[in-house]
Amino acid sequence: MKSQALIAAGVCALVLTGCTNNPYTGEQQAGKSAIYGGIGAVTGAAIGAATSSSDDRGKGALIGAAVGGAAGGGYGFYVDKQEQRLRQELTGTGVQVVRNGDSIQLVMPGNITFASGSADISSSFYPTLNSLVKVFKEFDQNGINIVGHTDSTGSNELNMRLSRERASAVAAYLSGQGVPGGRISSAGVGPSQPIASNDTESGRAQNRRVEINLRQL
Q: Do residues 66 and 19 both lie within one domain?
A: yes
pLDDT given at position 50: 52
Q: Do residues 75 and 154 both lie within one domain?
A: no
The DSSP output letter for 178 is T
Q: What is the mean pLDDT of residues 90-115?
A: 96
pLDDT given at position 217: 87
In a domain, 87, yes or no: no
Domain containing 129 equals: 92-216
Q: CA–CA separation, 20 vs 72, rounded Å?
A: 17
CATH for 136: 3.30.1330.60
pLDDT given at position 15: 46
Per cent of the chain over pLDDT 70 is: 66
Q: Are 206 and 196 in contact (CB under 8 A)?
A: yes
Domain end residue (candidates: 80, 104, 134): 80
Q: Do residues 184 and 113 both lie within one domain?
A: yes
Q: CA–CA separation, 161 vs 179, rounded Å?
A: 24
User: Between 100 and 38, where is the model more confident?
Assistant: 100
User: Between 208 and 56, where is the model more confident?
Assistant: 208
In a domain, 86, yes or no: no
pLDDT given at position 24: 36
Pairing status of strand 209-216 against strand 184-188: unpaired
The answer to whether the predicted template modeling score (pTM) of the entire model surpasses 0.85 is no
Q: CA–CA separation, 110 vs 166, rounded Å?
A: 10
Q: Do residues 41 and 146 both lie within one domain?
A: no
Q: Do residues 136 and 30 both lie within one domain?
A: no
CA-closest candidate to residue 118, choices 163, 64, 152: 163
Give the angle subtended at the CA of 70 by the CAs of 67 and 71, to the nearest 5°. Answer: 85
Q: Do residues 206 and 120 both lie within one domain?
A: yes
Q: Do residues 112 and 199 both lie within one domain?
A: yes
Q: What is the mean pLDDT of residues 39-43?
A: 50
In a domain, 48, yes or no: yes
Paired with 186 in beta bridges are 146
Distances (CA, A) of 53 to 56, 65, 66, 68, 132: 5, 16, 18, 19, 50
Q: CA–CA separation, 184 vs 106, rounded Å?
A: 14
In a domain, 53, yes or no: yes
Q: Is the pLDDT of residue 49 over 90?
A: no
pLDDT given at position 157: 97
CA-closest candidate to residue 205, choices 137, 114, 82: 114
pLDDT given at position 22: 45
Domain end residue (candidates: 26, 51, 80): 80
Q: Do residues 30 and 125 both lie within one domain?
A: no
Count structural domains, the chain: 2
Domain end residue (candidates: 20, 53, 80): 80
In a domain, 85, yes or no: no
> Which of 117-142 are b and which e, b meaning 16 or more Cβ less than 10 Å from the residue's Cβ?
eebebeeebeebbebbbebbeebeeb
Q: Do residues 209 and 168 both lie within one domain?
A: yes
Q: Do residues 68 and 101 both lie within one domain?
A: no
- What digits encode the pLDDT tens for the residues 188-212? 999 999 999 999 999 999 999 999 9
Q: What is the mean pLDDT of residues 42-69?
A: 52
In a domain, 191, yes or no: yes
In a domain, 137, yes or no: yes
